[in-house]
Amino acid sequence: MADVLSQGEVESLLAALDAAPAETSGYAPPSTHNSNESIGQISVYDFKRPERVSKEQMRAFQALHEGFSREFGAAVSGMLRSIIEVKLISVDQLTYGEFVFSLENPTCFNLLYSDKLNGHIILDLNPSIIYPIVDRLLGGGKSATQSFPTRPLTEIELKLVSRITKSAISALENSWKNISELNLRVSQIESNPQLVQIVPPNEVIVLISFEITMGDLRGIMNLCIPFNTIEPLVGKLSSDTWSAYSKHELTSEEKAQLEVGIGSAEVETVAVLAETTMSTSDLLHLNVGDVILTERDVSEGITLHIEGCPTFSADIGQLKGHKALQIREPLLQVRDIIKKHMDAKSGTENQKPKVATK
């Protein structure tokens, strides 16, 4: 009769089986008793979704298009006479195939082209927001809840949507003007995104998504930028040139244009003889030849106001048969008093004690 294994022997055999692959593989795990040894960190890399756009460039994309969302929202609000909010919700890096298959069909799929780029940029407008905008442009939009047709846009609707697209292009060009003059134009409009293959399905793109809100209605607008399209401009995105508003010295031609432009501007000039207060009854009983007493001495002259600001003291007189003013001196402005006080204070601080020498 065969021996019966006890519970302890069964557990020992199972433990030996679990440890067997590690013993036969010939791999010995690194010992952790030595604190001076450094263990390298392993990072996961997906070859199907390579990250060609750096984190710095992704931050640049986000900063650029936050300004775009504000300008585009203001333009559409003015066009529709309604409050339209455009908010940047995400900046992601994925493949073109993943982007296309995530879109609805039909949709408003606009291909934008620029001579400064190596390809197209895609502006996709979701039907859940584009139909309410079209309805608003045609005089509707009073109903908060609407059902949207599942069909492509008609020719009339496409003509109306082109006004929204032009506003988006204008805002996009203004956002990118520190990097390049894009001069974008719409080259094609499609309703089925899967019929458009501007790049291979595994090509890396930067997907910038915006949420458009009009009252209780919301929709998504996607801006798809393939990496190959903007590859010539990647160097500018990596530096601070995209956000730099650099100050440059004016040229002599620019200074002359400013002088001519400002010099030809008209300003209002008012001569104030004196100021006083009087009752309404005295004002009503004034007659020709009456004298109004003031506290201003005649030797003080008059005050000349330029655009409502007291600027010069002057004397009143006559020149070649015309009433005239002769400028005495400029009046001391508040900024001049402050500057004089600061100059005096800095001069006192910089003054060094004198040392007597023989």
In the chain, where the domains are located:
55-243, 299-332
Q: Alpha-carbon distance 207 to 225, whole Å? A: 6
168-227 residue pLDDT tens: 999 998 888 888 888 888 988 988 888 888 888 888 889 999 999 988 888 899 999 888
Cβ(49)–Cβ(96) under 8 Å? no
Q: Alpha-carbon distance 353 to 23, whole Å? A: 86
Does 25 have pLDDT greater than 70? no
Helix (H, G, I), strand (E, B) or coil at 217: strand
Q: What is the CATH number of domain 55-243?
A: 3.40.1550.10
Please tell me the predicted confidence (pLDDT) of residue 124. Answer: 92
Whether residue 106 has a cis bond before it, omega within 30° of 0:
yes
Q: Alpha-carbon distance 265 to 304, whole Å? A: 18
Please tell me the predicted confidence (pLDDT) of residue 246. Answer: 42
Q: Alpha-carbon distance 250 to 328, whole Å? A: 34
Does 237 have pLDDT greater than 90? no
Please tell me the predicted confidence (pLDDT) of residue 48. Answer: 59
Does 141 have pLDDT greater than 70? no
Residue bearing the bigger pLDDT, 347 or 303: 303
pLDDT bin (cut points 50, 70, 90) of residue 24 is very low
Residue 227 CB partners (closer than 8 Å, separation 6+): 52, 53, 203, 204, 205, 206
Q: Alpha-carbon distance 116 to 231, whole Å? A: 11
Mean pLDDT of 104-130: 88
Q: Alpha-carbon distance 179 to 236, whole Å? A: 6
Least confident range from 46-55, 74-83, 156-165, 335-344: namely 46-55
Structure tokens at 332: 């001391």
Please tell me the predicted confidence (pLDDT) of residue 321. Answer: 84
Cβ(192)–Cβ(106) under 8 Å? yes
| Short-list 49, 123, 48, CA closest to 93 | 49
Does 358 have pLDDT greater than 70? no
Please tell me the predicted confidence (pLDDT) of residue 270. Answer: 86
58-107 residue pLDDT tens: 888 888 888 899 999 999 988 888 888 999 999 988 888 889 888 888 88
246-274 residue pLDDT tens: 445 677 887 888 888 888 888 888 888 88
Q: Alpha-carbon distance 187 to 334, whole Å? A: 59
pLDDT bin (cut points 50, 70, 90) of residue 352 is low
178-188 residue pLDDT tens: 888 888 889 88
Mean pLDDT of 8-30: 60
Please tell me the predicted confidence (pLDDT) of residue 27. Answer: 47
DSSP string, 66-113: HHHHHHHHHHHHHHHTS-EEEEEEEEEEEEHHHHHHTS-SS-EEEEEE
What percentage of the chain's residues is helix, strand, coil (to nearest 5)? Answer: 40, 20, 40
Angle in degrees, CA 324, 330, 332, rounded to 5 = 145
Please tell me the predicted confidence (pLDDT) of residue 88. Answer: 92
Q: Alpha-carbon distance 283 to 281, whole Å? A: 5
Does 50 have pLDDT greater than 60? no
Please tell me the predicted confidence (pLDDT) of residue 166. Answer: 92
| Short-list 111, 125, 94, 93, CA closest to 195 | 111
For residue 310, list its beta bridge partners: 305
Please tell me the predicted confidence (pLDDT) of residue 37. Answer: 47
306-322 residue pLDDT tens: 888 888 888 888 888 88
CB atoms within 10 A of CB 116: 14
Helix (H, G, I), strand (E, B) or coil at 210: strand
- % of the chain beyond a pLDDT of 70: 79
CB atoms within 10 A of CB 237: 19
For residue 214, list its beta bridge partners: 84, 217
List strands edge to edge, sheet with 217-226. Answer: 84-95, 204-214, 217-226, 120-125, 108-113, 185-190
Question: Considering the chain, what is the average pLDDT of its residues?
Answer: 79
Does 30 have pLDDT greater than 60? no
Amino acid at 220: I
Q: Alpha-carbon distance 143 to 331, whole Å? A: 63
Please tell me the predicted confidence (pLDDT) of residue 258. Answer: 82
Mean pLDDT of 154-158: 89
pTM (2 d.p.): 0.54
Cβ(231)–Cβ(107) under 8 Å? no
pLDDT bin (cut points 50, 70, 90) of residue 23 is very low
Does 288 have pLDDT greater than 80? yes
